[in-house]
Amino acid sequence: MIFDDFLVRATLAGVGVALAAAPLGCLVVWRRMAFFGDATAHAAILGVALALLLSTSIFAGVLVVSLLMATIVSLLSGKGYAMDTLLGVMAHSSLALGLVAVSFVSGVRIDLMAYLFGDILAVGKADLAVIWGGAALVMALMGWRWSRLLTATLNADLAHASGIDPQREQLILTLSLAIVVAVALKVVGVLLIAALLIIPAATARTFSRTPEAMVVAAALVGMTAAVGGLQTAYWFDTPTGPTIVSLAAALFALAGVIANARRLLWRVMASRAGRRDASGRA
């Protein structure tokens, strides 16, 4: 079986997460929810601690705590605190609390790095099933609600006028975010999950003319980073999660350089054409 090869399992895990993260990451970027994603991801370590303490599945623990976190933040926002302050407080206190809680569980101190930075090379067949199950669920949710999510993202009032409840779409987004966090934990770890959501989407923005094109481009960037990062980490023996994110960041920088070069070229050509016009008239 090809699934017996750990590198194949790791690659499939990375691709699954990249696919689910693409539409969600774009929505997170468009809605300026980057901090929100970060806070949800940071809370995951608390979910890990609870799951270990109660000896339930890590996936379930992370899912529940991330959802809880997202709900609390949603409820507290608009209650007098600025959103970024609130998220800053919540993200780092839940991370700290999670780390403290984990220290009560005997024997996991060694594993902590795996939860903070991921351990994609240790993805087993069961993990792979969970990752692809979660990713498929998120992609199905996104596909089903896409038009409504997009309209609500564009403008809440326009959504209302079209019979769409923006609050419900926000809820679906929150749920998807929690699932992706739970799924991506094994791949990149809590500290870098938000990066996997945001960097591919931000890279894709430069080259996209429609929302859907941006999602496809983000998926391609995400998959390239996952597969390429995995290989790079294997060759150079570097930590896998951070290597994947570093590659994504390099692609982002490259996209920026290309976009600026293109803009510059346009400007030069336009000014040449302008000069030719002027001399032609003279």
Partner 1 sequence: MSLLSIAALDLALGGHLVLENVHLTLERGEIVTIVGPNGSGKTTLLKSIIGALAPQRGYIDKSPGMVIGYVPQRLHLDATLPMTVSRLMRLPRRRPRHEIETALDRAGVTQQASSQISDLSGGQFQRVLLARALLSSPDLLILDEATQGLDQQGMADFYRQIERVRHELGCAVLMVSHELHVVMRASDRVVCLNRSICCAGTPERVAASPEYRAMFGLDDEDALALYRHHHSRPSLEMSP
DSSP string, 104-132: HSTT-GGGHHHHHH--GGG--HHHHHHHH
Q: Is 157 in the site for partner 1 (CB under 8 A)?
A: yes
Stretch of residues binding partner 1 (CB under 8 A), selected from 12-20, 30-38, 187-195, 250-258: 30-38
Q: Least distance to partner 1 from the beta carbon of 162, Å?
A: 5
* x/- map, 173-212, partner 1, by CB under 8 A: -----------------------------x--x--xxxxx
DSSP string, 16-67: HHHHHHHHHHHHHHHTT-HHHHHHHHHTHHHHHHHHHHHT--HHHHHHHHHH
* x/- map, 109-148, partner 1, by CB under 8 A: --------------------------------------xx
Q: Is 234 in the site for partner 1 (CB under 8 A)?
A: no
Q: Is 151 in the site for partner 1 (CB under 8 A)?
A: yes
Stretch of residues binding partner 1 (CB under 8 A), selected from 24-32, 123-131, 226-234, 236-244: 24-32
- Token readout for 59 is 């996936």
CA distance 61 to 50: 6
Note the helical H segments in 77-192: 83-104, 112-117, 125-154, 156-161, 166-188
Q: What are phi and psi of 52, to 5 degrees?
A: -65, -45
CA proximity to 148, closest of 117, 133, 170, 129: 170
Cβ nearer to partner 1, comparing 129 with 253: 253
Q: Least distance to partner 1 from the beta carbon of 258, Å?
A: 16
Among 49, 214, 244, 251, binds partner 1 (CB under 8 A): 214
CA proximity to 186, closest of 27, 30, 57, 31: 57
Stretch of residues binding partner 1 (CB under 8 A), selected from 48-56, 158-166, 247-255, 272-280: 158-166
Cβ nearer to partner 1, comparing 28 with 62: 28
Q: Is 29 in the site for partner 1 (CB under 8 A)?
A: yes
CA distance 104 to 172: 34
Number of residues lying near partner 1 (CB under 8 A): 28
Which residues form the interface with partner 1 (CB under 8 A)?
Answer: 29-32, 147-148, 150-151, 153-162, 164, 202, 205, 208-214
